[in-house]
Amino acid sequence: MAEAKKNILTYEGLQKLEAELEDLKVNKRKEVAAKIKEAREQGDLSENAEYDAAKDEQRDIETRIEEIEKILKNVEVVGADDIDDKKINVGCHIKIYDFEYDEELEFSIVGSTQTNSLKGLISNESPLGRALIGKEVGEEVEVEMGDTVSKYKVLEIKTER
């Protein structure tokens, strides 16, 4: 049997997932159970929108708990000591130059479960992330995204120590 793919996380990402799991199990489950109980007390469940909404919320909570537990079962935490500060890897904050738009971009490379482009967190499994992993300052990469090819140059690599 093939070994399951490792879920790469920074230490911060691991802490956030563990905190979310704890909140879901300790707080959210109780909150939704109370909502279900309250909705049941209203009588007929066949046309009870509050009951249906609470059951949907319960399903979403349980699904998220399963997702997080699955991630944590096969996690690899990348810490500052694991990072070569000369090469891009998960946990690095980088600055690149975008030739097409003539601008500098800054973001951090994180594991796929931590991705949040609005916060500047780019997945190591994204096309750009994959292209940049292992690169050094001064190197250029071309990234194929759909019908276009974008070109970038690595300007700076910082490890988050």
- Tokens 């991705």 locate to 115
- pTM summary value: 0.68
Give the pLDDT score at 83.
Answer: 62
Give the pLDDT score at 3.
Answer: 62
Q: What is the DSSP letter of 143?
A: E
CATH class for domain 7-78?
mainly alpha
Residues 6+ apart with CB under 8 A from 121: 107, 108, 110, 114, 115
Mean pLDDT over the full length of the chain: 89
Q: Is the pLDDT of residue 81 over 70?
A: no
Cα(35)–Cα(52) distance, rounded to whole angstroms?
10
Q: Residue length, the chain?
A: 161
CATH of 81-159, one of 2.40.30.130, 2.40.110.10, 3.10.50.30, 3.40.50.300: 3.10.50.30
Q: At what angle do helices 49-73 and 29-40 cross, to 10 degrees?
A: 160
Q: Is the pLDDT of residue 161 over 60?
A: no
Query: Model confidence over 36-75: pLDDT tens digits?
Result: 999 888 877 777 788 889 999 999 999 999 999 998 998 8
Work out the percent of the chain whose per-residue pLDDT is above 70. Answer: 91
- Can you read off the two tokens belonging to residue 127? 């096309």
Q: Where in the chain is the domain with CATH 3.10.50.30?
A: 81-159
Cα(131)–Cα(140) distance, rounded to whole angstroms?
10
82: confidence class by pLDDT, cuts 50, 70, 90 = low
